[in-house]
Structure 1
């Protein structure tokens, strides 16, 4: 794992040097560039995930019908639903892949920020928009609460976009409110640089989601 952390430090330094070359010598800019790079690289996975989730939403009436048909035989109901997924080329676990890909990245960035060799020639390199990227600000009433608030708000918006049934399905509705609160807490208790990464990732994800939703809707209309 130390190799991954060192690789993350080197990548941040490369992006920092890139941003410095255009007059923005801040590791905050490097983190934003890093986030955009990661989201671009995993976009094909994200697209497949959302296409699969969209199909799952469209199949909900058929799934409910099968569950009602075999309500006295849970095993048979599950088998029928899995057969329906197979018939329509839907992977119910496909949504987990982009998350699993990002977990080591999230951990590596966290580890890198805890003990990062910032540019010694630039004492303000680790400062960005009023934040010290190395500090954990907690929940003190100050300007720095803006990151946890943004983390919660963008997580909520992203969840609404990725889960169309989030306001009607009881399980999804619970997650709709628990996840923003969870990531607000995380953002306040980790180095601010990691919170910046999470907020930026959510913002990029929201724009990608809008693009994907629009593209999938157009494909559905053409199919009809």
Structure 2
């Protein structure tokens, strides 16, 4: 086990001990606490990402106008769009950073759950009738609820982040991403699916808060 997995295992055990001190000795609770901790730490990046994506959506009419104006010159159209982004302080690649930051965490948690050693209390690894270290697949049973929740929360988050579904690309992503993450959630340990669902739920509340904050800033500017 490499140092990242060992670190993740230690962190999960710390959060498990914390949950135990609060009367909820369960690794499912530890994973939820881990998710909330990560989302809190990367909130500044998340805010920049969501604010940038929101501005990009608001700029779509101007972008379409530029593309129509320079429909015969893609190079000039791209240059004008980049200038528009610059004027409005929008980084079109800014949305990738929070995802890149979370990839090592996602991989570390995946590896940790695959190799997790059961302690003296097997019940601690069961959360809402899920064995957190088990991959359930697509068996028609209660356990499909995690992939379904993963799809539903991914859809809601994508819808909040990109409300302009008139754009063909955005509309395609709105439906493809939930299916993709439902598949992923069924083919990884249940604890990782729980992590993703919790991440989505926290992101939805953060997006609602950021949307309101940006709307208030727009009103103030007017």
For residues 169 and 78 of structure 1, the distance between their equivalents in structure 2, rounded to whole angstroms, comes to 17
Residue aligning to 2:161: 162
Partner of 1:43: 43
The residue number in structure 1 matching 2:124 is: 125
Residue 193 of structure 1 corresponds to which residue in structure 2?
A: 191
Matched, 1:22 2:27: no
Shift of 1:181: 0.6
**Alignment gaps of 5+ in structure 2:** none
Distance 1:143 1:62 in 2: 47
Paired with 1:186 and 1:29, the residues of 2 have a C-alpha distance of 21
Any gaps of 5 or more consecutive residues in structure 1?
none
Paired position in structure 1 for 2:54 = 54
TM-score by length of 1: 0.96
In the alignment, the residues of structure 1 paired with residue 16 and residue 109 of structure 2 have an alpha-carbon distance, to the nearest angstrom, of: 14
Counterpart of 2:143? 144
What is the Cα deviation at residue 3 of structure 1?
1.4
Moved over 3 A (4+): none
Selected match of 2:201 from 200, 203, 207? 203
String of CA shifts for 1:91-115, please: whole Å, max 9, x gaps. Answer: 0101111111111110110001000
| C-alpha deviation, 1:123, in angstroms | 2.1
Q: Deviations over 1:101-153 (max 9, x none)?
A: 111110110001000134x2212111111000011111111111110110000
- 2:178 aligns with one of 177, 180, 183: 180
Could you tell me how far apart the structure 2 residues matched to 1:141 and 1:181 are?
A: 17
Computed over aligned residues only, the root mean square deviation of the Cα atoms, in angstroms, reads 1.1
Q: For 1:34-83, what per-residue CA distance to the aligned partner results, in whole angstroms no more than 9, with x for missing partners?
A: 00000011111011111111221222222111111111110111011111
Secondary structure of 1:124's aligned partner: helix
Residues 199-220 of structure 1 deviation map (CA, whole Å, 9 limit, x = unaligned): 0100111011110111111111
| Structure 1, 62-71 or 36-45: larger mean CA deviation | 62-71
The question of 1:66 aligning with 2:71 is answered no
- Aligned equivalents of 1:36, 1:105: Cα separation in 2: 13
